[in-house]
Chains A and B, each alone.
Chain A
């Protein structure tokens, strides 16, 4: 048994501790907002917050995530400024990479509330988007950083 604290709720899961956190979140707990893209830390689709930091959930085992505060896209309030900016800027296309992008962006903005373009690029560069929504992601981050104005 593994116990995980996700979005403020604690979960007991019958899974071996070596299974990546991503699969426990998605396939065991059915919090499917967190996505699988590559499994090797190259795409960022699986990004969640662990103790407030953006982390690739495919790169940490469920065992190692025990006792930590995990937040997924479902745990971010709908009126969060970053989510609101995402809607205002109409970022998603297929949408598959977007939960990961949003989780990455939220952690980044909380550390750098007034980012430069270069800082945005370096913070977001690990997140792939095959639909090419990058320009929209950039604008949404700037909008959120400006407090939605």
Chain B
């Protein structure tokens, strides 16, 4: 496991004069840079977010406050700092920040990895920290040699004088440097001076991940720990009526049975004993809150709500009037399913709760929530709680929830021993916070010239934010349900966007790209249908609605050019285009598909993607995130759907919730736009455009519009039969 350091250890190490330590704090008037000494003197409310420590052993240690779930932050964040510092990449080490408000994201005031924000929020403070330390090291060297500072240079972790006449490594300079005042406005590099930023640097985590050494939450072992597994309600809200504690205890290795709000836990010396104990428990459950809940009841509820008037999320002009007057009118309904995150590492957490201390090992995206929950459950103070963030075997938003932490802390508290709570895949599938299912009604009106003059978009969607972050609700409107709609770039004179909140027992949460994953589909399908109705090329039609929207037009034009949009498609194939702005990043995609007329199965042959996320830190990681997003989005578009029956979740494992496999993965080309616009993220925005690009391509190939996801062969076949 990556060793985490506590603030205390960090300060102790740096206070003993062992090296140079720098912290950066966000203040309303900009970033403040501090030495370890100054950090010690600051009031407890003080919250610096970047820690850099250069030690006499010539190592540069960067504390990373973001969770590594595959998106590459353990590489990209150190790169940014190391570049400004002019460190040698080989001397760079990273430490994973413990959960502590000192390591809060400066923009959020929370320790949370999500929303494709790691680079956007951390780049500036990291650069400043590196630049400040670099200036101090230069000054220290100049002092040591009694030469002018401007004749010194830093190269690969070494300060040089007069083109190499004198040289001192960082390690040799830190003790002198640490006695210097910390510069408050160090100058940052110009792009032309970057050594790492913009380069496809190899990821620091890959050797461990290739050799089976990377430690995930599930790989945690603590002395004397027990395994805890839960028997869980089969239907939403069900409570246990009875269970056979004695039968479970009789199993060799079973230690105890503990009922907690989320289920009945069996604790045992070994994981197999815990499972056997759970089987023996034989819990009888009551019927839960909605025993009839099923796909059918949910469909009915969504459809019923689609007829209701919603809250106005956005409007301009007068939709109704314009629609009535329109030369051509078109209406459509889209139904999208609940989706499961399917992190390859199932939920797990190890907790050791003692009277005066608590220690937690967990693959989490949301350290602040882990800490808050643990304080509440144990009554301990934050300084008595240590949270170790392990590697995350996938996150995708699922690990911003702390349900499994609650289980581990509650159980450990009762039994007074460390426990590792381990979910089987079936539990993971059935106990998710799913991407909301949605129903959307869209209507568009064209004038005689085929211009889109009226647009209505009503979405029925469960609310994520009302549970997860109620403060973010805006006039009872969930901002996630309005993704891509509230900041719609298409220019339409008469627009009305409505939101109908539907409440069902099914928990919903943040799923990679959140609302863009459904609204991206409905918007880009709608626009494509309207383009066809207007007898216009889908690309031209879009560009016509995006006049003056430079970045959107540019990704579309780029993707079209790279995909050969103007050239005819191969015989029997279809081509579709789409673009989505999500989390500040513009992504456009073209998909080439063919459809097997007999089976209705869709084959995606090639995807071309263009991305503009502003200045790029690591193009290799960006490309991998685009590809990964496209593949996950394609999996959802073609295959994924949560099924519900008998008041709960019916889906159970990868046999009935299939994910895309290698045989269905197309060639994917990624083109990065050289951009000086605002920097934004890469983890999520690659996902939303693929479903509409494929659906639009299917239309191009077959003349069939697929408005419901997933695009299962049966559905496609049925639609073709009707046409």
Contacts and interface: CB of A to CB of B under 8 A. Distances in A.
A130 B212 contact: no
B662 interface: yes
Contacts of A30: 221
Given A125-B661, A132-B627, A87 B655 contact: no
B71 A96 contact: no
Interface string A30-67: 11111111111011010000000000000000000000
B612 to A, nearest CB: 21
B654 A128 contact: yes
A23 B668 contact: no
Nearest to A126: B661
Given A36-B346, A94-B394, A132-B628, A86 B272 contact: no
A97 B344 contact: yes
Contacts of A36: 218, 346
B203 A90 contact: yes
B513 to A, nearest CB: 13
A28 B628 contact: no
B704 interface: no
A102 interface: yes
Nearest to A136: B624
A130 B215 CA distance: 18
A122 B663 CA distance: 7
B344 A43 contact: yes
Contacts of A122: 663
Contacts of A96: 216, 343-345, 393-394
A96 B631 CA distance: 17
A74 B211 contact: yes
A130 B627 contact: no
Contact of B424 (A31, A39, A73): A39
B212 A133 contact: no
Contact of B70 (A35, A37, A86, A94): A94
A53 to B, nearest CB: 19
A138 B661 CA distance: 12
B135 to A, nearest CB: 33
Contacts of B68: 94
B214 interface: yes
A121 B663 contact: yes
A124 B215 CA distance: 24
A33 B628 CA distance: 23
A40 B270 contact: no
B180 interface: no
A132 B630 CA distance: 8
A22 B424 CA distance: 13
A37 B428 CA distance: 10
Contacts of A42: 653-655
A19 B215 CA distance: 23
Nearest to A124: B662
Q: Please classify how large the interface on chain B is, using the bins under 10, 10 to 19, 20 to 34, 35 or more.
A: 35 or more
A4 interface: no
A40 B165 CA distance: 65
Interface residues of A, number: 57
B544 to A, nearest CB: 33
A43 B346 CA distance: 12
A85 to B, nearest CB: 10
B398 to A, nearest CB: 11
A72, A78, A128, A131: which has the most chain B beta carbons within 10 Å? A131
Contacts, number: 164
B211 A73 contact: yes
Nearest to B424: A39
B470 interface: no
B206 interface: yes
A86 B214 CA distance: 15
Given A38-B425, A83-B211, A125-B661, A15 B344 contact: no
B375 interface: no
B60 interface: no
B628 A32 contact: no
B497 interface: no
A108 interface: no
B212 A94 contact: no
Contacts of B272: 15-16, 19, 23
B202 interface: yes
A121 to B, nearest CB: 5
Nearest to B631: A132
B657 to A, nearest CB: 10
A73 B212 CA distance: 6
Interface string B221-234: 10000010000000
Interface in B214-256: 214-216, 218-219, 221, 227
Interface in B619-644: 620, 624, 627-632, 635
A93 interface: yes
Interface in B44-72: 68-72
B391 interface: yes
Interface string A1-35: 00000000000000110010001001110111111
Contact of A93 (B70, B342, B661): B70
A34 B661 contact: no
Given A27-B271, A74-B212, A93-B70, A130 B624 contact: no
22 contacts: A15-B270, A19-B272, A23-B272, A27-B271, A30-B221, A34-B212, A45-B344, A73-B211, A87-B207, A92-B205, A94-B343, A94-B394, A95-B70, A95-B214, A95-B393, A96-B344, A98-B209, A124-B662, A125-B661, A129-B344, A130-B344, A131-B70
The 10 closest A-B pairs by CB, nearest first: A33-B212, A132-B631, A96-B393, A95-B209, A93-B70, A94-B70, A73-B212, A132-B628, A32-B219, A42-B654
Interface of B: 68-72, 202-203, 205-216, 218-219, 221, 227, 270-272, 342-346, 391-396, 424-425, 620, 624, 627-632, 635, 653-655, 659-663, 665, 667-668
